[in-house]
Amino acid sequence: MNVYLSTVSAWTWTESRSTLANGFWLNTNWAWSFSEYYPYAHLFRQFPIALVRPLIPLLAFFGLTLRSPGKDQQVLSRSTRLAGLLSVFVLGLILLSNGTRAPGSLIFDPLYRLPYGWLLQEPGRFLMVVALGYALLIGLLVDRVSSRVRTPSNPTPPGGPNTVGTTRASWSRWLMVSVVAIALVSAFPFWTGSVVSGPRLGFPSGHVIVPSYWTATADYLNSSNAPGGSLLVLPPDDYYQMPYTWYYGADAFIENLLDRHVVLAPSGQSYYKVSSELTGAVQLETSALTSHNWTEASRILTAIGTPILLVRGDIEAAFAGRDIVSPAALSA
């Protein structure tokens, strides 16, 4: 089977927040600007939580400003060289995470045109590797500061006041506290549970359990008693995330439940190009069913190769801002 990739314009809308500034604090998610997806996003613009945005990269790269311990300052320690190489790698990934937007497009666009360049879409996901790089850089910073406390460059003479060692030990403790505090504050949606939202702005709660009627349907369709063949799911998607009475999101759970070929009506927001013939056929099938044109509906199902039709009765057709065919009309 030939798979055709969508054009860049089909997914560049995901780069609406792909800037260097957002990349440095590891957040280029397009949905961050919409409170229905992230109700707590506004808190990251308010003091003191807003401080984590500059403090995260500042803490990661702060180690580059420290001189290596020892008498010969021109000889870099192993950890200094490692921190430098890691920083260059992290900065390169942050630049790449801009995707088709400047200045990252200088790197991304030529790479995307290479064979298998499509593996780079969406580039924002490379920030997960940047987060790991930040963690390693901060770990190297803590290690270097701790080593400077253990082995001061100017040892205290016997009987003399150890003011240098005391100051460095205090500075090291404050650094440890800062690292822990920034980590806790920046990750507060996880440890408070707000990362999984409850009901808000007409959206159902993110805390969901697949309803029993879905599992019962899957049990039947996966059994030997069910008719064979592929299955067409209606109503057709008007967006890649669909509003259910119990859930809002992608339809992948349907394919995961069923042990047969499933045709989910394409919405257009996809990395893969769907044939216009299939899209048109699904729309014609929908029109034939709602107009009770059974002959036409049967012919289209035969042409698509989907003798079984599944109507999702738990789709909210009246969801605000959406254009969804009524499941009740299809069922009738």
Q: Are 64 and 177 part of one and the same domain?
A: yes
Q: pLDDT at position 2, please?
A: 45
Q: Are 94 and 61 part of one and the same domain?
A: yes
pTM above 0.85, yes or no: no
| 205 domain-assigned | no
The domain tally of the chain equals 2
Q: Are 182 and 272 part of one and the same domain?
A: no
3-state secondary structure 305-330: CCCEEEECCCECCCCCCCCCCCHHHH
Q: Are 162 and 253 part of one and the same domain?
A: no
Q: Are 106 and 32 part of one and the same domain?
A: yes
Range of the domain at 27: 8-192
| 66 domain-assigned | yes
- Residue 189: is the preceding peptide bond cis (ω within 30°)? no
Q: Are 27 and 167 part of one and the same domain?
A: yes
| 3 domain-assigned | no
Q: Are 222 and 147 part of one and the same domain?
A: no
Mean pLDDT by 10 residues, the chain (332 residues): 63 89 94 88 91 92 75 58 91 94 92 88 92 93 73 54 60 80 89 86 85 95 91 90 90 92 73 74 92 94 92 93 92 89
d(CA 262, CA 254): 8
Q: pLDDT at position 196, please?
A: 87
Q: pLDDT at position 149, please?
A: 61
Q: pLDDT at position 230, please?
A: 92
Residue type, 321: G
Spell out the residues 6+ positions from residue 107 whose beta carbon is closer than 8 angstroms to its own.
92, 95, 96
State residue 278 phi and psi, 5-degree precision: -65, -45
Which candidate, 148, 300, 168, 328, places its Cα nearest to that of 235?
A: 328
Q: Where are the beta strands (DSSP E) in the chain?
A: 231-234, 242-243, 248-249, 262-264, 308-311
Token digits of residue 116:
């298998």
d(CA 149, CA 75): 19
Q: pLDDT at position 1, please?
A: 41
Q: Are 48 and 94 part of one and the same domain?
A: yes
| 198 domain-assigned | no
Q: Are 310 and 236 part of one and the same domain?
A: yes
Spell out the residues 6+ positions from residue 111 whose beta carbon is closer than 8 angstroms to its own.
96, 117, 120
Q: Are 22 and 171 part of one and the same domain?
A: yes
